Structure 1
């Protein structure tokens, strides 16, 4: 993934996870562009030759696959490698049908590459800073897509959410049971640690960093920072609320 602006490590890492899911579901291994400098949302565009946009069922499947990888807490393996060696190695050993380059390869003058790899899921030439594991992301929510058939391009907009959750239908019982259907959202954990607890601490640290970094910023940058902090506070509030119990009942309207 090419880099033009300073990237947020969480959003950039989420791009790699989401890209793997897109490739698995749609079979589209070429990335055209990404946007990862925002701390709570990002964008990734891939080559897509089908004349019709993917169905909502496929979009849901992509999101599900991405969050399964987050739940598995895979390691982001980052390393430097000789350019010719990398090209030779990965041309015959694609990772999830993906090569190390996107639509635009690195200049010929470059002799050493910085690669990031998620085993059997994604590999890319990317010099950005990444998280240690996928579990640190929390969760990915696809906010929308833009299909541009004339350009053979499909864009995914996504949000970073507090945690991965699984939803199952709960059947109301008893005289006082609500008439509306309900869904039970269970907290997902891995290796004995709770993702929501981890993310409360992580989100708090991100908010503190935003405040400290904005001290010497311009007014326009402060407005953007304020918006990002408000978004993070909303996520933090919702996460803290759900941490009060093992499950939360959410009414479906």
Structure 2
């Protein structure tokens, strides 16, 4: 399993933890980057999270890894995905209208997102997730969370 596949799957795990801890207001990703064992996700949010909330995001993400949950990948029509999950499958950036077939990453009860990247089959294959930096950009109402994946 490549480092980037592990780190990309971790991105979905982190996003799920962010929403679990901070609530549905933090569901909209504004950017995401993964390189090797490092990643960063930015989500719209209306305040700077507390130190305790950031620590809880890390705890919940690693609990999901330890759970070794199955990662579901669904190839389906866009309309079927929208009917099943609504706009939860989308991020802040638009999916072009001409795309009518989508690949959906799904961790039941945790995260669902249109995503064409490769993923691990189970969360346990990711390894430990360490939040390395957070930054809240008040001018944009954006929370950035950087992380590393470790063995």
TM-score, normalising length: structure 2? 0.94
> Which one of 80, 95, 112 corresponds to residue 101 of structure 2?
112
How far apart are the structure 1 equivalents of 2:130 and 2:101? 34
Two-structure CA RMSD over aligned residues (Å)? 1.2
Other-structure match for 1:13:
9
Name the structure 2 match of 1:34.
Answer: 32
Unaligned runs of 5+ in 1: 1-6, 92-97, 163-253
Question: What CA distance in whole angstroms lies between the structure 2 residues aligned with 1:17 and 1:104?
Answer: 20
Shift of 1:146: 1.0
Pick aligned residue for 1:81 from 76, 81, 94: 76
Partner residue, 2:117? 128
Structure of higher CA gyration radius:
1
Matches within 5 A, 1:222-233: none
Among 49, 54, 57, the alignment partner of 2:52 is 57
Q: Which residue of 2 aligns with 1:25?
A: 21
Which structure exhibits the higher relative contact order, with contacts defined as CA atoms closer than 8 Å and separated by 6 or more residues?
2
Which secondary structure does the structure 2 equivalent of 1:150 belong to? coil
Distance 1:85 1:157 in 2: 33
Q: How does 1:128-207 map to 2 (within 5 A)?
A: 128-162=117-151
Q: Partners in 2 of 1:87 and 1:133 — Cα distance? A: 24
Structure 2: distance between partners of 1:115 and 1:72: 21
State the TM-score, normalized to the length of structure 1. 0.57
Q: Secondary structure at the match of 1:16?
A: helix
Deviations along 1:52-74, whole A, 9 cap, x unmatched? x2111111100000000000001
For residue 88 of structure 1, report the CA deviation from its aligned partner.
1.6
CA displacement at 1:105 relative to structure 2: 2.5
Which runs of 5 or more structure 2 residues have no equivalent in the other structure? none
Distance 2:116 2:147 in 1: 22
Higher strand share: 2
Q: Which runs of 4+ in 1 moved over 3 A?
A: none
Aligned length, in residue pairs: 147
2:64 to 53, 59, 69: 69
